[in-house]
Amino acid sequence: MEDCLFCKIIKGEIPSNKVFEDEFTFAFRDINPAAPTHILVIPKTHISGLNDLNNENINIMTKLTSTAREICDTEGIESEGYRWVINSGEDGGQTVFHLHLHILGGRNLKWPPG
């Protein structure tokens, strides 16, 4: 999508600190990290968020989680623990409307979140 920040990051039009890329997914470090490890995993196709998932595109969740699993391994946060988050809509705190899974780790994360 033309005016989407994360679509521009995928295309390289906006620089990012890339961690991983394959045919379906792209991962990069969050510009404003909330934890020592804070990585965003996104689909290469534009899906605006959880509400946009349907039977046609739901398989992307397998690709996102598969990439996220691999990254948790390579980042070395598996044994200590970590958290995956997908914010949705205003109450969920979503600010970028291109589906993204946050990987947070490297510190003791509090629960429940604010």
Q: Which does 36 bind (CB under 5 to 8 A by kind): ligand AMP, Zn ion, none?
A: none
| Contact call for residues 59 and 99 (beta carbons, < 8 A) | no
Write down the catalytic residue from 38, 46, 98, 100. Answer: 100
**Catalytic (active site) residue 100:** yes
Residues whose CB falls within 8 Å of the CB of residue 99, separated by 6 or more in sequence, listed in order: 42, 43, 47, 48, 49, 50, 52, 53, 60, 64, 86
Scanning 5-13, 58-66, 83-91, 104-112 for contacts with Zn ion by CB under 5 A, the matching segment is 5-13
Pair 94, 113: CB distance under 8 Å: no
Which of these, 1, 15, 114, lies nearest to 48 by C-alpha position? 1
CB of 78 to ligand AMP, least distance (A): 22
Task: Spell out, one character per residue from 58 to 87, where the chain touches ligand AMP: x when CB under 6 A holds, - when not.
Answer: -----------------------------x
Residues in contact with Zn ion, counted by CB under 5 A, come to a total of 6
* Catalytic positions, written as ranges: 100
